[in-house]
Amino acid sequence: MEVNDQTLTEILRLTQENNRMLHKMRRNAWIHGILKFILYALIFVAAPLWLYATYLAPIMTSMLETMQNIQDTGTQAQNQFVSFQNGWKELQSKLPSFMQP
C-alpha cells in the first residue's frame, strides 16, 4: 500500500474524529453513571423515607396511642379489682364472726 500526504491526512482526520467520539462516549458514560446513582438514591433512600413520613408514621403514632389506652384501661381495671377486694375484706371484717367462713 502506498502512503502519501493525502492518505496521512485522512488517517489523521479519522484518528481525531475517533478521539472526539471516544471522549464524548466517556463523558456520557460518566454523566449517566452519576444520574443513575442519583436515581437509585432517590428510589432506595428518599422514597422509603418519604413513604414512612407520609403514611407509616401517622399509623404508627395512632397504634401506639391505642396500645397506651389499652394499657391504661388494664391498669384501671386492676386498680378497681384491688379496690373491690379491699372493700370485700372490709365488709367481711365488719360482719359478725358467725357469717365469716
Q: The pTM is what?
A: 0.55
Separation of alpha carbons 75 and 33, rounded Å: 58
Q: What confidence tens digit (pLDDT) does each residue in 33-55 have? A: 999 999 999 999 999 999 999 99
Q: Where are the domains of the chain?
A: 5-99
Task: Write a three-state SS string for the chain.
Answer: CCCCHHHHHHHHHHHHHHHHHHHHHHHHHHHHHHHHHHHHHHHHHHHHHHHHHHHHHHHHHHHHHHHHHHHHHHHHHHHHHHHHHHHHHHHHHHCCHHHCC
Read off the pLDDT of residues 10-28 as tens digits, 9 standing for 90 and up. 999 999 999 999 999 999 9
The whole-number pLDDT of residue 67 equals: 95
